[in-house]
Amino acid sequence: MSKFYARRRVSILAALAALTASVSLFNGPTASAALPTPVSAATARTYLASLTVATEDRTGYSRDLFNHWITISGTCNTRETVLKRDGSNVVTDSACASTSGSWYSPYDGATWTVASDLDIDHLVPLAEAWDSGADSWTSTQRQNFANDLTRPQLIAVTDNVNQAKSDQDPATWMPSVTSYRCTYVRAWVQVKYYYDLSVDSAEKSALTNYLSSC
């Protein structure tokens, strides 16, 4: 094969791989797919500029209003699906529980080999969503948000790191791994934009500052 045709073949394969990745982003990842890649920093900046700025209101919030960890396929619920997706060499039993594997938590850089050491983080927390518009959603809309495998909204991370984050937005909490912060804010803005959620002024300022260095 000539060098020209070899290069052309590589280019075609790369294009097909990119197309496949794009399709999976919109159709939703399978249990073994990679974490959905957030929009670019440029796109995130455009999205952020269009978000409504409003004061947050938590009146009436309850986590139970967001039906989470629903069945995704067979015996696998959302948590188990994300664990299978985000881990390496994950082995599951007949109930879809992870019995072995390895998981890297991009928030703090830790690696775990026991699934119970991980939480599945709602990148935009449920309470944050409620504060910024989800209080007017239907139960179905809140369920879809709480189990969204298509947007970069769910990720397996160290359990106590997720608990420390709690319901904070980027104005008061960011991953300790600084190299992941650009990915984090791009994902945050993408999720808020897709679900037409507002941002408060401190949140927008923090997102703007982080995105400016992406």
Instruction: Give pLDDT tens digits for 29-51.
Output: 333 346 799 999 999 999 999 99
- pLDDT, residue 35, reads 78
Instruction: Give pLDDT tens digits for 7-28.
Output: 333 333 333 333 333 333 333 3
For residues 59-76, average pLDDT: 97
Q: What value does the mean pLDDT of the chain take?
A: 87
pLDDT band per the 50, 70, 90 thresholds, residue 129: very high
Give the integer Cα–Cα distance in Å for 120 and 103: 12
Give the integer Cα–Cα distance in Å for 75 and 94: 8
